Structure 1
Amino acid sequence: MTTSAPSLPATAKSVQWTTVGKPADILSFNEATPLPTVTGSNVLVKVHAAAVNPVDWKLMKGGVPRFLMPSVKVPGVDIAGTVVAVGPKAGKRVQIGDQVMVLLTIFQSGGLAEYTLVDESLVAKKPERWSFEQAASMPLATMTVWQALVDYGKLKKGSKVLINGASGGTGTVAVQLAKALGAYVVGVCSGSNAQMVKDLGADEIVDYRTTDATEKFTNQDFDIVFDAATTGDQFWAKRHTLMKPSGNLVLIVPKDNVTDTPFHLLYAGACVASKKATSFLQRGPGYHLILTERNGVELEEAVNVLVEAKADPTIDSVYEFTLPSVLAAFDKSISGRAKGKIVVKIH
């Protein structure tokens, strides 16, 4: 039996899109979206804040077939809010009134809405230390970094890690998490952001505008190179001098056109397979272009590491929940100039 908080509304506001294109051309504001029915292992979250990530506007290009997503798609995969209803098979990890943070899948209705339905397995408890805006900024970045550094990079205490894009929304979390886990961190960013990245814990800074990291480090220095900003071609080309033979190059940014059509998506997959085969045959550094997996338990584990290290989120800007303001948030994300995460305050 579903249990819910009293006096839930019948409808709620949401941002949505139904066809591919640019955010400014396809996003609309629905003032009366029906509240979803809470069934199975789902819980209903009253959303207080949601983040805007590049994946949100890249999906709008059309590379992921529309039949895999809702016909009316609400963008946003990062949310923080309060549980207001629990399905009949849920309630093992959260209860009504719990404050939570969630990394949603791209195949469901997203977080830029007043209420969002999520599977309980995706939910993590929000730390008391963080505001809802801070918590909403963290799920995708935290899970991506944890999987990149720990699962794929095999980070251990004392590992030497190069982080490209260290001042961005994902890069800032990478610096913090790597330091919390005992790594030596070299951050690559612009000189104007160097002090911010150093304050986050980086041991060294490389200003990419004046110095090429692949030429500065040529003695197989790194156990992990994590590229949060580019396709990593420059690091892969110099992998034998930049990284130890047992090292790992971990990427999260595919080619620009990978989400344009299903063909581009398949071609990108073939390119990744080729590089992984080269890595295996040459017994050199590993190559990984990762897709972030969703897991509430793992998210909670990674967040606890950050909280224990007093590593708080870096937020670039917070926007209001109106269509013009949401469009401005998307513009900021598309510009690639955010210093930290971009958040929309909803309640």
Structure 2
Amino acid sequence: MATYAPNLPETMKAIHWTKIGKPAEILALDKHQPLPTLTGTNILVKVHASALNPVDWKLMKGGVPRFLMPKVKTPGLDISGVVVGLGPKAGKSNKPGVQKFAIGDRVMAMLDFSKSGGLQEYTLVDETILVKTPAEWDALAAAAFPLVGTTVYESLVIRGGIKKGDKVLVNGASGGTGSVAVQLATALGAAVVGVCSTPNVELVKKLGAAEVVDYTAAKVHEQYSNRDFDIILDTVGSDELYATSGTLLKPSGQYIQIAGADSAMDSPFHLLYSGLQILHKKLYGLLTRGAGYQLFTTFPNGANLATAAHILVRVNATPTVAATFEFSLDQVLEAYKQSQSGRARGKLVVTLQ
């Protein structure tokens, strides 16, 4: 039997879309959507904050077939909030890394893109991808972290094999993902070179970067041409950086790209074309310097999220929040407008509490 906190409402506010297009054209606010029904190992979370990610508005373009997503799709892959309901099978798993939850626990999660998201007052989260929020973080920091934290951990630790003393280049070091990458790599003992624009140089230094390259004033490959780096983490998707990576990476180095072209999800054709480009880069990297190129999609993983958060908390680091927005249609549309500009210094967070 499911367990609920007392006095829950029957309906909630939710922002959603039902057809492809631009956020301003397709997003709508439903003020009387029924609360989700608890089943299985799901946890019902009252959402306090939800962070935006570029993948949200890229999915709205229609590159991913609609049958892979709900008919009514609520965006927002990052949430923080409090547990208000436990599914009938919650807490009975013996899987490693799955935490136990109780009504009232502060939690955070990266949600599955194929299910409803965080821009609604209550959302369902499977217990395998939900983790308790560190006591040191408020709701904004917790909402800003899950997707980028999981992505950066998989990039640097699992795929990059980062170790103390490595030299790591982070392209897009002031953005939502890059700012976490700088902090996590530094916390793990790496020397970080961050790439950003002039207004963000001091921010990236404060995040822990040993050196910063202002890409408006200098080229990375002109400053570092002796195969200095063990890992290049490209959070932007720069063709120029990849083309010059042969002079930047050590022979055993890893070029890890986590962002494709903005046009990749414009249509299924664009998605296929982007896939072919990735395959070409993988083959080129394999032939020229070993298996040194990776582009991947991060999926929710509670164990990785909890570990990544622990690393940052251990060194008193927190995710960078660029701006906050109220939970209204106008404010959410403004947030997406800023997200699409690509100029945010950190994460954009919508507050629901």
Query: Alpha carbon RMSD of aligned pairs, Å?
Result: 1.0
Q: CA deviation at 1:91?
A: 2.1
- Give the aligned partner of residue 155 of structure 2: 148
Query: Could you tell me the percent identity over the aligned residues?
Result: 55
- Give the aligned partner of residue 190 of structure 1: 197
CA contact (8 A) 1:164 1:189 kept: yes
1:40 is aligned to 2:47: no
Tell me the matched-pair count.
346
1:159 is aligned to 2:154: no
CA contact (8 A) 1:214 1:234 kept: no
- Give the aligned partner of residue 306 of structure 1: 312
Which of these residues, 181, 184, 198, is aligned with residue 174 of structure 1? 181
Which of these residues, 337, 340, 343, is aligned with residue 343 of structure 2? 337
Q: CA deviation at 1:285?
A: 5.9
Q: CA deviation at 1:236?
A: 2.1
1:282 is aligned to 2:302: no
Deviations 1:151-205 (A, max 9, x none): 1111111110000110111110010000000000000011211111101100001
1:55 is aligned to 2:61: no
Moved over 3 A (4+): none
Q: 1:342 corresponds to which letter in structure 2?
A: L
CA distance in 2 between partners of 1:272 and 1:49 (Å): 34
Q: CA deviation at 1:134?
A: 1.1
Deviations 1:16-57 (A, max 9, x none): 111111111111110011111100111100000000111111
- Give the aligned partner of residue 240 of structure 2: 234
Q: CA deviation at 1:274?
A: 2.1
Q: CA deviation at 1:279?
A: 2.0
Q: 2:60 corresponds to which letter in structure 1?
A: M
CA distance in 1 between partners of 2:184 and 2:266 (Å): 32
Q: 1:325 corresponds to which letter in structure 2?
A: Q
Matches within 5 A, 1:1-40: 1-40=1-40
CA contact (8 A) 1:320 1:344 kept: yes
SS across alignment from 1:121: coil
CA distance in 1 between partners of 2:171 and 2:246 (Å): 18
Provide the TM-score with structure 2 as the length reference. Answer: 0.96
SS across alignment from 1:257: helix
Deviations 1:256-293 (A, max 9, x none): 22101112212211221222122223334611112112
CA contact (8 A) 2:179 2:207 kept: yes
- Give the aligned partner of residue 199 of structure 1: 206
